[in-house]
């Protein structure tokens, strides 16, 4: 029922904002990463970057926006499951898809908000550092976030209790960042690890966002787009089998 | 013959190797308050959740308002209201937001302001869920269960953990539901609650139905004993009553004497006997068996065990 979907999404948005810890942390973390690494690589003034960064700082920050969204998804799902909120919602005419989609939409909403904060901060502190096709980059970040969120549902299905939600999620996500190709080309990895890295959504997210960043556009990265969509479909398929409501 | 609103026949449900419900059959009639009573882990919640359609039974058939709770879930959820044991909502959701969301989900919705007022929640409209007391939370869940004016209301341990005053408020609300013609199916492990509210109760233990009937019937059938306890300063009072009709046994402790017998007219017999023997009595009370005694007798253990 569509009516219930928008009402639930709006309520979940308000409920998330009312919880200062989770809300501020998820917005602040990418910003802090951006400002710290940004000031190291761009310098504090000038219109162009003076120091060659060992990796693309804005992409790292954008990746952390996506990962924050996933971490908050896993935590919220596990808390809702543990306290019987999922069970109560499921006993209403709300469909299971509606209940979980509302969470996805809220995460995507805050992904856009985080990116907006990043852009504003970038214009303020590192003018010229964020010269990018914004609509295209936003779309790339949203697709990446959606794909990693689907993996978040798989993690949320496996997390035993809400206490372990954050550490387990971190344990899944941070190694993925290392293998994403942001810090060193994954071609340098031994073959088994390279295959593994290619199965991770973060790798394709980084490849797509870097592509958009360099101006080569979506057409040159259709492989990454297809991989992100495929990972999304596989994870959602898996979720429908293993997701626990209580 | 009253109309059955809920029919459960040969219901079975296991979790792994644990049998939660075993060959359970029962009927709930239109307009009655029906209580499923038993200790924790007896299978009350599993039974109720199978009937609500939240859980899939392993065996047996269930019909609610003539519908199959699993197959006809969409049609049924517009006609039943549920409240779960130890349920929660989002900590920071406001009362009116929950009511507003639930209102959007049903075809037919009652006047929610009037409903909140009836449940004593009108002053809490803007309160966040986490700030509500246990009793207020349960009243909110009752409001959410009743928002679409359902024909059957399911209440799972609705007063567990509440203080006596909050409990009494909820009891009043359940009586109110009955007066509005609703069928109420509840679970409880509080015998006093079952005795006070339920038209009929089903005692279940280890997933099996032990007995079903009105509380009075069950007491009459399984625990017909009555006791009269009286205090008399006079000598030989107990001995003079011991031979009276219907008196099965007499025990004395100082000036306090306990007479035991059976049947509805036992107490009247004793009063007549005391009057006839002209015994000076300074204290007099009767002890009637309760559902708690019935439960103990039928299952061999207490409800809280």
Domain spanning B4-220: CATH superfamily? P-loop containing nucleotide triphosphate hydrolases (3.40.50.300)
Q: What is the pTM of this model?
A: 0.88
**Residue A52: predicted pLDDT:** 56
Helix (H), strand (E) at residue A165: helix A165-178
pLDDT confidence of residue B305: 45
A87:B84 CB<8 A: yes
Task: Report DSSP state, residue B22.
Answer: E
d(CA B199, CA B181): 13
What are the residue ranges in chain A where pLDDT is below 70? 1-3, 43-53
pLDDT at B167: 92
Closest-CA distance of chain A to residue B119, Å:
20
Chain A CB contacts of B93 below 8 Å: 11, 15
| Percent of chain B residues past pLDDT 70, beyond the cut | 99
How distant is the Cα of A66 from the closest Cα of chain B, in angstroms? 24
Q: Do domains B4-220 and B224-288 have the same CATH topology?
A: no
What pLDDT, in 10s, does the model give residues A178-234? 999 998 888 888 999 999 999 999 999 999 999 998 888 898 899 999 999 999 999
Cβ B53 vs Cβ B117: under 8 Å:
no
Q: Which residues of B touch A14 (CB under 8 A)?
A: 92, 97
Low-confidence ranges of chain B (pLDDT < 70): 1, 303-305
SS3 label, residue B203 = strand
Q: Say which CATH architecture domain B224-288 belongs to.
A: 2-Layer Sandwich (3.30)
Strands (E), chain A: none
Three-state SS at A199: coil
CA distance B80 to chain A (A): 10
Torsional class of A49: left (φ above 0), alpha (ψ -120 to 50), beta (otherwise):
beta
pLDDT of residue B183: 97
Complex confidence, ipTM: 0.87
Q: What is the residue extent of each domain of chain A? A: 2-242
Beta-bridge partner residues of B188: B37
pLDDT of residue A2: 64
pLDDT confidence of residue A46 = 45
Residues A165-193 pLDDT 10s: 989 999 989 899 999 999 888 888 899 99
Cβ atoms B8, B47 nearer than 8 A: yes
Instruction: Determine the residue among A4, A91, A106 to mutate to test chain B binding: the one whose Cβ has the most chain B Cβ atoms within 10 Å.
Output: A91
B198-207 in b/e form (b: 16+ CB < 10 A) is bebbbbbbeb
């Amino acid at each position: 029922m569509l009516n219930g979907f928008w009402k639930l999404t709006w309520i979940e948005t308000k409920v998330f904002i009312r919880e200062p810890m989770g809300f501020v942390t998820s917005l602040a973390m990418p910003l802090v990463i951006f400002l710290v690494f940004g000031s190291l690589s761009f310098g504090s003034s000038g219109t162009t970057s003076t120091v060659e960064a060992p990796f693309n700082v804005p992409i790292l920050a954008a990746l952390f926006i996506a990962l924050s969204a996933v971490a908050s998804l896993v935590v919220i799902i596990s808390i809702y499951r543990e306290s019987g909120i999922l069970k109560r919602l499921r006993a209403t005419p709300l469909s299971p898809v509606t209940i979980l989609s509302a969470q996805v939409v809220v995460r995507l909403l805050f992904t856009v908000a985080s990116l907006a904060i990043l852009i504003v901060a970038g214009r303020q502190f590192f003018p010229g550092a964020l010269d990018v096709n914004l609509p295209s980059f936003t779309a790339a970040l949203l697709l990446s976030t959606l794909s990693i969120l689907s993996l978040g549902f798989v993690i949320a299905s496996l997390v035993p209790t809400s206490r372990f939600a954050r550490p387990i999620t971190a344990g899944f996500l941070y190694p993925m960042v290392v293998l994403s190709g942001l810090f060193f080309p994954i071609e340098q990895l031994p073959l088994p690890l390279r295959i593994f890295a290619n199965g991770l959504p973060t790798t394709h997210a980084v490849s797509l966002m870097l592509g958009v960043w360099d101006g080569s556009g979506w057409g040159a990265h259709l492989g990454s787009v297809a991989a992100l969509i495929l990972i999304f479909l596989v994870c959602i398929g898996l979720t429908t089998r293993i997701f626990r409501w209580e | 013959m009253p109309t059955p609103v809920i029919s459960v026949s040969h219901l079975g449900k296991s979790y792994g190797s644990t049998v939660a419900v075993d060959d359970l059959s029962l009927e709930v009639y239109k307009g009655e308050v029906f209580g499923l009573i038993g200790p924790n882990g007896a299978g009350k919640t599993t039974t109720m959740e199978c009937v609500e359609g939240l859980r899939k039974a392993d065996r047996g058939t269930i019909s609610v308002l003539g519908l199959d709770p699993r197959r006809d879930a969409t049609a049924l959820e517009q006609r039943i209201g549920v409240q779960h044991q130890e349920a929660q909502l989002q900590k920071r959701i406001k009362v009116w937001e929950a009511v507003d969301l639930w209102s959007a989900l049903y075809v037919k919705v009652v006047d929610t302001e009037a409903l909140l007022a009836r449940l004593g929640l009108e002053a809490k409209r803007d309160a966040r869920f986490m700030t509500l007391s246990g009793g207020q939370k349960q009243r909110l869940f009752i409001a959410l269960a009743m928002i679409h004016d359902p024909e059957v209301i399911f209440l799972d341990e609705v007063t567990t953990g509440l203080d006596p005053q909050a409990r009494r408020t909820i009891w009043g609300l359940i009586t109110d539901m009955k007066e509005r013609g609703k069928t109420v199916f509840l679970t409880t492990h509080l015998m006093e609650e079952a005795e006070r509210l339920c038209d009929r109760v089903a005692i279940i233990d280890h997933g099996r139905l032990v007995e079903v009937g009105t509380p009075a019937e069950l007491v009459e059938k399984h625990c017909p004993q009555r006791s009269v306890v009286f205090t008399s300063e006079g000598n030989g009072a107990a001995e003079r009553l011991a031979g009276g009709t219907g008196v099965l046994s007499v025990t004395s402790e100082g000036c306090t004497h306990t007479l035991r017998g059976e049947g509805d007219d036992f107490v009247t017999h004793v009063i007549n006997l005391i009057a006839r023997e002209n015994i000076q009595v300074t204290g007099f009370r009767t002890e009637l068996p309760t559902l708690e005694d019935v439960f103990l007798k039928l299952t061999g253990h207490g409800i809280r065990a």
